[in-house]
Structure 1
Amino acid sequence: MDPDRLGSVPRHETGPGGESYTVRQVRGGEKAYRCPGCHQLVPPRTPHVVAWPDEPLLGGGLEDRRHWHTACWRRA
């Protein structure tokens, strides 16, 4: 098994506000994102976390996904 691929497998965690989130570790692409934890940029090609609220009745919450610095997500 490739450890890099295992890191990208979605998992469920408790996040901000005690809510349940689907979380995925990503390598980073060509775009910068604003981290909701510190309000600073996650630069392009920077490994980070993508998280979105679990919405079991509605089947998603993908439109609410946010890109976090890994350390900011862990603090949240």
Structure 2
Amino acid sequence: MTRSNRSRKRDAEYEPLDVERLTGGFRRSEVRKGREWTVQPISTSNATKVYICPGCSLEIAPGVAHLAAWRNDGILGDAADVADRRHWHDACWKVS
């Protein structure tokens, strides 16, 4: 009799793969110039608008992977911080 490679764990709950999270990247926190920032990578498939990068003042075209960053420590609260987020080229964010 041949051996099956299938798992015999039938009680384990199936958790569907979150493809958007895998392709979009993982949100993370970074500290820059003494301030805490949330950084969210934006994949090429999720980049649907035109933005101006605050690092180089050049356009980020639709379909170009980039990142969005916003402060974590604003005095007006989380909603205001997210509303004030900016979209950066990856390279511009690294040198800022």
- The TM-score range, normalised by the shorter chain, is 0.7 to 0.9
* Structure-2-length-normalised TM-score: 0.65
Pairwise CA distance, 1:8: 2.0
Unaligned stretches of 5+ in structure 1?
none
Distance 1:14-1:44 versus aligned 2 partners, 3 A rule? same
| Identical columns (%) | 34
**Whole-angstrom CA distance in 2 between matches of 1:69 and 1:9:** 16
Deviations 1:5-62 (A, max 9, x none): 17622100123x4311000111142211000000000111100010000037723410
Matched position secondary structure for 2:38 = strand
* Structure-1-length-normalised TM-score: 0.80
Unaligned stretches of 5+ in structure 2?
1-16
Q: Output the aligned Cα RMSD.
A: 2.2
Aligned length: 74
Q: For 1:62, give the aligned amino acid.
A: V
